Structure 1
Amino acid sequence: MTQAVGVTRPGGRSARTRAAVHAAVRSLLDESADGTVTVAEVAQRSGVHTATIYRRWRGPEGLVLDTLFEELSHRSPLPVTGDLRGDLLTYTRGLLADLQAPGNRVFVRAIAAAVRTGGLSGLADFAEPRVRQVEEVLAASGTTEIGFLDVGELILAPAYAHTLLGAPLTAEADAERLVDNLVAVLDRRRSRKAGR
């Protein structure tokens, strides 16, 4: 997959530009009731020209997605120990706890707004580094029967949907259930494969 437009090489002016834009986006999202920002607002707050923003991030959806996926990578790293259930359980507990924080709910609203206006292809470009991290967890455990889409459907989608609906799942009550659902799918696929 090609590099996301908002992803730049570290260091130098590009890194400073990206940091200024991310700080502006985060600040504006904290003030936003609906999880959206405009390019004009980001340009004014960051001091980065609108043409640069459009060239690198394509529009407001790209700005939001790049900023939030970058934050997510730092705030909620994925463990890679080779123990699939353990790694996914640690990750899911962290994700659900993170989504409980009122300030982080804007992340979910922003993703929903970006998908509504930019479609899944725009989301995929900026989510690609996170997708790779999930795939590393799966690969470390030797798992080939499930992929990122399975993790998305059985862990991420319920977590984000409940948060959007105002009834976030909790790490204590729901993390094991979500991970167990994914492991059950993995076990069924392995059984089918072995039965061939």
Structure 2
Amino acid sequence: MEDREQPIRRPGGRSARVRAAVHKAVTALIAERGYGNFTVGDVADRAGVADSSVYRRWGTLESLLMDVAITWLTTTSPIPDTGGLEQDLRAYAAGVARDVTGPDGLAVLRLVLALSTAGEAGARARDDFLAERSRQIQGMLDRARDRGEQPPEALDILDHLLAPMYIRVLFGLGSLTPDYVDTLIDRLLALRDRNG
């Protein structure tokens, strides 16, 4: 019996290029039109792919939008490991500030907000987004605890670091300057010290 060779799959091949083009199209459309004002066809046209490619891979527009939000979150703002909690927090906060003010940051934040009011699937997307962000943060806090440091709670980081940055960006209430971000970290650490 003849041994058939399997086709070689290359990472970063056509599938990765299609996914990147579709994700880029989604963030551009959200930035231009807002959530709910475009279709899978619009995404496909903008990405230069067939509608059927989008449906085959994601099934629905909501699934695609969830994938865009979660992918953005998991590929931006990496969790640093500097060897000390304060330095980790400062590096992490600087990365978040850079990412949410970057070209796709505002669009993705708006997408997550819009999805959270878009029924059960949207609420799941919001919950997945927050769960992934919490998982990232908890890893940093667990490392600090393993080193013998006293980290704040993950919810304190969401409340006192991420929420103020997200609100500023979403509502255009001011820029995320390094001084502003450092002040948020200082307040977070002071809160931890008071409660610790």
For the aligned residue pairs, the C-alpha RMSD in angstroms reads 3.1
Unaligned 5+ residue runs, structure 1? 1-9, 191-196
Matched, 1:133 2:136: yes
Could you tell me the TM-score, scaled by structure 2's length? 0.70
Structure 1 38/188 Cα, relative in aligned 2: closer, same or farther at 3 Å? farther
Match of 2:33 in 1: 33
- Distance in 1 separating the partners of 2:93 and 2:126: 21
Deviation at 1:18, TM superposition (A): 4.4
The question of whether the paired residues in 1 share the 8 Å contact of 2:113 and 2:126 is answered with no
Task: Indicate if the aligned counterparts of 2:116 and 2:125 stay in contact, CA closer than 8 A.
Answer: yes
Residues 82 and 137 in structure 1, CA contact (< 8 A), matched pair in contact too: no
Q: Distance in 2 between matches of 1:112 and 1:151?
A: 19
Stretches of structure 2 lacking an aligned partner (at least 5 in a row) = 1-10
Contact 1:88–1:179 (Cα < 8 Å) also in 2: yes
| Partners of 2:79 and 2:88 within 8 A in 1 | yes
- Aligned identity (percent) is 33
User: What is the correspondence of 1:2-17 to structure 2 with a 5 Å cutoff?
Assistant: none
Distance in 1 separating the partners of 2:30 and 2:139: 30
Instruction: Say if 1:103 and 1:26 are closer, same or farther in 2 by CA, change over 3 A.
Output: closer
Return the alpha-carbon distance in structure 2 between the equivalents of residues 166 and 72 of structure 1: 21
Task: Work out the CA distance in 1 between the residues paired with 2:64 and 2:27.
Answer: 10
Q: Does 1:66 align with 2:70?
A: no
- Listed one character per residue, the Cα deviations across residues 87-106 of structure 1 (whole Å, up to 9, x for unaligned) are 11111122223333465322
User: Which residue identity is paired with 2:172?
Assistant: G
Count how many residue pairs are aligned between Structure 1 and Structure 2.
176
SS of the equivalent of 1:81 reads coil
Distance in 1 (CA, whole Å) between partners of 2:54 and 2:118 is 23
With structure 1 as the length reference, what TM-score do the two structures score? 0.70
Tell me the equivalent position of 2:5. none
1:166 aligns with 2:172: yes
Which residue does the alignment assign to 2:126?
A: 123
Q: Relative contact order, CA 8 A, sep 6+: which one is greater? A: 1
What amino acid maps onto 2:132 in structure 1? P
Q: Which residue number in structure 2 is paired with residue 98 of structure 1?
A: 99
Pick one of 177, 188, 192 that aligns with 1:186: 192
Residue of structure 2 in register with 1:193 after alignment: none
Q: 1:163 to 1:13 in 2, by over 3 A?
A: same
**Amino acid in structure 2 at the alignment position of 1:70:** T
